[in-house]
Structure formats: structure tokens, C-alpha cells
Amino acid sequence: MDIIHLLSDHIANQIAAGEVVQRPSSVVKELLENAIDAQATSIKLIIKDSGKTLVQVIDDGQGMSITDCRMCFERHATSKISQSDDLYAIRTMGFRGEALASIAAVAQVEVRTRREADELGTQLRIEGSEFLGQEPISTAKGTNMLVRNIFFNVPARRKFLKSNSVEMKHILDEFQKVALAYPEIAFELHHNDIEMYKLVAENLPKRIVDLFGKNYRQQLAHCEEATPYVSISGFVGKPESAKKTRGDQYFFINRRFVKSNYLHHAITTAFEGTIAEGYHPFYVLNIDIDPSHIDINIHPQKTEIKFDDERAVYGILRSAVRQAIGVYNLTPSIDFESDINFGNLTNRPLPEKKPSAFERSGSSIQNFERKEPSQWKPLYEGLESAANRQESTGHISLSSKANKTAEQQAEDQDFKPETEEVDAIQIHLKYLVLQVKSGMLLIDQKAAWERILFEQYLKNLQNKSGASQQLLFQKTLELDPASFALAQELKTEIHALGFAFEIFGKSSLIIHGIPAELNDDDGAKILKDLIAQYKENETELNLNKVQNLAQSLSKRAAGKQMKVMDKREIRAMINRLFESSLPNYTPDGQKVMKIIPLAEIAELISKSNGF
């Protein structure tokens, strides 16, 4: 007797459901994605008992016909692809046609739906894959999907659901991901009749603030890079807002949330030299890419993804993030009025290719290549030398030109000084004060030198080209055994930094040259400090050798720069600062400068009036 038989649809669906539906949040994800694919502009999520009793999604999307409403619960039933080629052009969130069949296999489902053109809608009930009935109903345009008592017919799985708070956390995670990917869609979330979120359609920074809180407002740096292969857009947290706990890191590809350790690495290394080890940056980034370059068909949960050129994406992503936290991020806060939105990206024509983006993916040193000095010049646009102008936009001119009137822009041109005219005041040998368009720019002199010298030393180390000045009298430096061993190990690198020394005996060095910038005859002490600092960094920050040395020496050497500077020197210093890759931050993430807007200055003064 033959023993092989086909499984009934019901059992087949239940088995398939195991892949798709793990817990209430899986239902949330699938239903939200369907609503988005149906072009909804407003989506309401209603949850009871952390989804164990009810997951309901109401959308105002395109709805379904009577037959489609019946069909959508069949396995492999989808409106989104029809031939295998379509798999390489997927722009929708769903495409497998499995979700509703799986959900209906393990829950009690009721759907009401109506297309705009239809007078009457249709209502259908299905439980444990068993069709219970369908009738006409008058209902709003769109789809209202109710999923009750998940796993009502699979007690073993129902038993394994976690506590209400854990299941609700999973639901919130799914909700937040989708809400971040689609800021132009309005979302609501109700749990046990309590409104948890009511998000209006808006741009991405506003959505981030609505979801995570007001204090994110000041923390966001706009990140944008477009190449013919991919476009990257979104926001990263400024380095000083990095947190001890990981989380709040969202990465989307064509607005689909994905996990990629490789690309996560690209982002975290972009922050290298700006945040300490053990801290995690915030980010919400979307990569827009032609679907033919990716394969999303590798995991039912679809949070993993394959690219045909992962390395290129890595390089572009890293350089985009680096730019975001660098010179372009001098605005005191991002501009909440201009419409920065994932949505804009998809339809936008791509600008010309920037070849350097691909080339920036090499070693960390290559990332410190100098930028065009012209990049910082906009900072001084609108800077006036003597005339007093009342107007303040709260932004330095670096912020988007888009929110300025043509008149304002013309005015900027008038006031645009030659860089020679940049005037700064040095106070207490510690700070520089500069007038910029929106107010006052304060620069911490020591921090600035740390950044400048750090990059200079990196370059020296790379080219083995540190300029050394001969000491008039050579010095002997006694070291403890550990430091001595370290000095031997790092001999080549220390030479590249501009120190000239010989090993002498079993524990000494004879120093006859020190780096040119130091201008200090106490070279022996600095070298000793350098080694000590190197040891400290090594255990604390786990930086690579070259970075560590450059960072250590720049910290030491910056302290030696606290002296009176004349105008020419100040100008040269500021030039060098803005030519560096990240003028805003020291290599260990301290702020180098801050803009104080005119309004804040006025407030400070009026406060002291005592009214």
C-alpha cells in the first residue's frame, strides 16, 4: 500500500504559518506592510492584550474586490508579482502571498474592505483556515483587518507567548520601524483603548522626534549621498549623543527594515575617532537602490538582504555618515521646516556620480584625506566685518539654501568677505570668538589643535614623513621595562611622527629630534607622555595602532599651542581646522566649536536684566 499523501491545505498552512507568524508582532508587521502596499495614507493599529486577543489594522488604502477578498487568504496568492522576473523588481513590502493565509490558519480573522469605486464593501470571516462566510457590508474605503485570538487552535504555541509587556515591546518595535520608514503616512497606535501614538504625516526628523522625544531634536545630523548605484538618506545622531546601550539603530533598504552586521559596521566605523568605545550612535538611514541589485528573497522574515556589490554600499554609506557628522553639520539644529523625507528620494533625479565615494572605502587613514578647503567657506558667507545687521535665521549659511529667499541669498553675496578678512578674537589664550551670520562662533583652541594635529600626524604616519627638528642637546630618557618594550615596538611609527631617537642600553632612549610643531625643548617628557598615553588609550579605546599614536601625540602637542597668536596665525589655524575631515570634534569626541545664535545672546543678556 502507498503511504505518501498530500497534506490538507489546513495543515500545510499551519506549517507555513510557523515561518511567518511567530507572535502577535509578526501579525502587526504583515498587516502594516499590507496597508502600506495598498497605498494607505493613514493607518490605525489597535491592539488588545498585547495582541493576544486582538490585532486590528484599519487603512484607507485601495481596498479589495469581493473575489480578491476571498483570494487573499489562499496560499501564494498575491497581487504584487506574477512572473519570476518580477522578483528582481520588487518595490512592495510583500510579495510572497503567504502572510494572510498563514495568519488565517492560526487565528480568527475578520476583514471588511471596500474599493473607492464600489458602492458596497465586503466582509469575510475565516478561522483556522476555515471559510465561515462572506457578505456585503457598508464600510469606509480601505481595509479593516481584525485578527483575534492568535494560536487559538495551536495551544502549544499560544502557551509559549511571552508576558504582555514582552509581546507589547515586540509590537512597538515593529510599529516604530514602519513609522520611521514611512513618515509621510499618518499612524495611530491604541493599546487596550489607550492612545499610545498619534503620528501625523510629516517629514523624517519630525517623525523621529515624535517617536523618540524632543531631546532628539538637537541631536540629528542630516545624512545624504547620492550615486548612480545607491542613494542614502536619513539622520544620524551627533557623536555627543551616543549612548551606552545599543538600540535606536534603524537601517532600511528601499524602506524595508533590514539587519546587516556588515553595513552596521560601515556606520560605526564612520564614527571612529568621534565616540568612545562602548558607546553606540543613533541612526535612521534608508538606502534606495534599484531592486535588481538586491536579493530580498532569502529569508521569510525578510530582514536580511544581499547586494550584488556590498563593498560599494559599504564605502558609500561610511563616507555619507562621515560627511554628516563632519563639516556639513555645523548647523545648531536641523531645519525642521524643509521637507527632508525618504519619499523625496525615490523620485529624485540622481546627481552626477561622485567617484570618490567608492574610493573612500579603504583603510582608516584614507578616510582622512583632505577636503577642498572651499567646503568650509560657506561658514563665513554673510559674515559682516563691522556693519550690524538685525536679521538672524538661527542658522549659519551652511544650512540649506532652499529656505532662503532670493533676496537673502543675494544679500549673502554682498556680505561675503574674502577669507583674508576673517577676524577672530582670542580670549584667555583658550578660545576664539568669531562672528558668523547667525551669531557667534566659539572655538576651543586646544580642541581645535587636537583635531588639526591628529590629522597631520595620521598623514605623517601614513607617508612616514614627519618633520623633525634637531635638538641642540640630545636627551636621555629612562623608561620602565614595559614602556621601553613599547618604544621599541613602535620605533618606526614614532620616527614617522618626527621623533628621532636611538635605543640605548636596556632601558633608555637617546633623543636627538622632536616633531617640528612641538616647539618645545622638553621633547623627552613629551615622548614619555606619548608612550604613557598610548598605553592608556590602548586599554581604554581599543583603537588601532596608528590612530592611537596620532591621538596620543595630538593630545600632548595641542597643549603646547596655548599661546598668543597673531591674526595671520589665527587665520592659518582656522583654515587648517576646516580643512580637516571632522572640524566639529576632537578625535575622542569632544566638541571643538559651538555656534551661539543671536537670539540666545539676546536672551542671555535680557535674563540678566532681571525681568
**Which residues sit at the interface with ligand ADP, rule CB under 6 A?**
30, 34-35, 37-38, 59, 61-64, 72, 77-80, 94-101, 143
Contacted entry of Mg ion, ligand ADP, none for residue 139, CB cut-off 5 to 8 Å set by kind:
none
**In angstroms, what is the minimal distance from the CB of 300 to ligand ADP?**
11
Phi, psi of 116 (to 5 degrees): -55, -40
80 binding partner (options Mg ion, ligand ADP, none; Cβ < 5 to 8 Å by kind):
ligand ADP
- Contacts of residue 135, defined as CB under 8 A and 6 or more positions apart, other chains included, come to 122, 123
Residue 439 interacting entry, from Mg ion, ligand ADP, none, C-beta within 5 to 8 Å by type: none
CA atoms within a 13 Å half-sphere pointing along the CA-CB vector of 40: 33
Q: With contacts defined by CB under 5 A, how many residues of the chain interact with Mg ion?
A: 3
Q: How many CB atoms lie within 10 A of CB 350?
A: 13
Which residues are registered as beta bridge partners of 442?
433, 594
Pairing of β 54-59 and β 142-148: antiparallel
Stretch of 97-105, 178-186, 312-320, 485-493 contacting Mg ion, by CB under 5 A: 97-105
518 binds, among ligand ADP, Mg ion, none (CB under 5 to 8 A by kind): none
Distance CA 548, CA 556 (A): 12
| Cβ count within 10 A of residue 83 | 6
Q: How far is the CB of 80 from ligand ADP (least distance, A)?
A: 5
- Smaller CB distance to Mg ion: residue 34 or 113? 34
Give the shortest CB-20-to-Mg ion separation in angstroms: 9
Q: Could you say which of ligand ADP, Mg ion, none residue 513 binds, taking C-beta under 5 to 8 angstroms by partner kind? A: none
Ramachandran area for residue 574 (φ above 0: left; ψ -120 to 50: alpha; else beta):
alpha
CB of 65 to ligand ADP, least distance (A): 10
Alpha-carbon span 510 to 502, nearest angstrom = 5
Cell of 469: 627638528
| Residue from 376, 399, 257, 251 nearest 321 by CA | 251
Task: Say whether residue 99 binds Mg ion (CB under 5 A).
Answer: yes
34 or 268: CB nearest Mg ion: 34
Q: Torsion-angle region of residue 97: left (phi > 0), alpha (psi -120 to 50) or beta?
A: left
- Cβ closer to Mg ion: 34 or 62? 34
Which of Mg ion, ligand ADP, none does residue 64 bind to, with CB < 5 to 8 Å depending on kind? ligand ADP
Closer to ligand ADP by Cβ: residue 23 or 96: 96
- Taking the complex as a whole, the smallest distance from the CB of residue 18 to ligand ADP amounts, in Å, to 16
Q: Is 94 in the site for Mg ion (CB under 5 A)?
A: yes
Out of 34, 144, 260, 445, the only residue in the binding site for Mg ion (CB under 5 A) is: 34
Q: Min. distance of Cβ 100 from ligand ADP in angstroms?
A: 3
3-state secondary structure of 175: helix
We find the least distance from the C-beta atom of residue 544 to ligand ADP, in angstroms, to be: 45
Q: How far apart are CA 207 and CA 177, in angstroms?
A: 11
Judged by beta carbon, residue 70 or residue 571, the one nearer ligand ADP is 70
3-state secondary structure of 280: strand
Q: Which does 97 bind (CB under 5 to 8 A by kind): Mg ion, ligand ADP, none?
A: ligand ADP
- Given a contact cutoff of 8 angstroms between Cβ atoms, the answer to whether 389 and 598 are in contact is no
What CA–CA distance (Å, rounded) separates 346 from 343? 6
Contact residues: Mg ion, CB under 5 A: 34, 94, 99
